[in-house]
Amino acid sequence: MSKDQLISYVKKFVPLDDIEAKQFVSNFEEVNVKKRQFIVQPNFTNKHRVFVVKGAFRSYALAPDGQEHTLQFAIENWWVSDFNSYIYQHPSTLFIVALEDSTILQIEFNKEQELKKVNHKFETFFRIMAEKGLAFEHRRIVINLTHSAEERYQNFLSNFPNFVQRVPQYALASYLGMTTEFLSRIRNKRAKKS
């Protein structure tokens, strides 16, 4: 069932016949992850690209002063990994933790490389995912540099309404580049206007 979800997702970007779809998903392993369980930790090489079937994840870096900086959230039909570690196969600098009990499909780096060699459709799919990921990160950087805290929060609410109730407030504040207290003030001000 979870592999059908991945096939449906992939077919939004590249056409696959039944044989190709089966070949693609056969390289993925289903894993159940408990809330608060880490799937990536610093100093260990990120060996898998992860597709979220069910649940939620948070990717973050830890500054020398102990402050957490959230880089990404992922829920159903999103991908999550420390892509720098995954692509270059060197030690990770990120933590990726489950925010809920979750189910993922993961593919090992070497299996992904083999898939790309055997069928150009698979390579095209992973290229499209890389392009979309790069464009997303670029938009996020521009928004963080050019928008006020209130505008960043409004943008997040507008574009990712499914995330707001599923991620802890401290993690959302970190993602938006503000303190938890400041995010609380923004939310309270918005609630009073409603």
For residue range 142-183, what is the model confidence (pLDDT) as tens digits?
A: 999 999 999 999 999 999 998 988 999 999 999 999 999 999
**Which residue stretches of 1-119 are H helix?**
2-11, 18-25, 83-88, 109-118
Q: What is the pLDDT of residue 192?
A: 77
State how far the Cα of 88 lies from the Cα of 157, in Å rounded to an integer: 33
For residue range 12-47, what is the model confidence (pLDDT) as tens digits?
A: 999 999 999 999 999 999 999 999 999 999 999 999
For residue range 35-79, what is the model confidence (pLDDT) as tens digits?
A: 999 999 999 999 999 999 999 999 999 999 999 999 999 999 999
pLDDT band at 188, cuts 50/70/90? Answer: confident
Do 151 and 184 meet the contact criterion of CB atoms below 8 Å apart? no
The pair of structure tokens assigned to 31 is: 């894993």
In single-letter form, the type of residue at position 175 comes to: Y
Q: Is the pLDDT of residue 1 over 80?
A: no
pTM of structure: 0.93
Q: What is the pLDDT of residue 164?
A: 86
For residue range 108-141, what is the model confidence (pLDDT) as tens digits?
A: 999 999 999 999 999 999 999 999 999 999 999 9
Do 171 and 73 meet the contact criterion of CB atoms below 8 Å apart? yes
Count of beta carbons in the 10 Å neighbourhood of residue 53: 22
Q: Is the pLDDT of residue 194 over 70?
A: no
Q: What is the DSSP string of 176-194?
A: HTS-HHHHHHHHHHHHHH-
- Which fold, 2-146? Jelly Rolls (2.60.120)
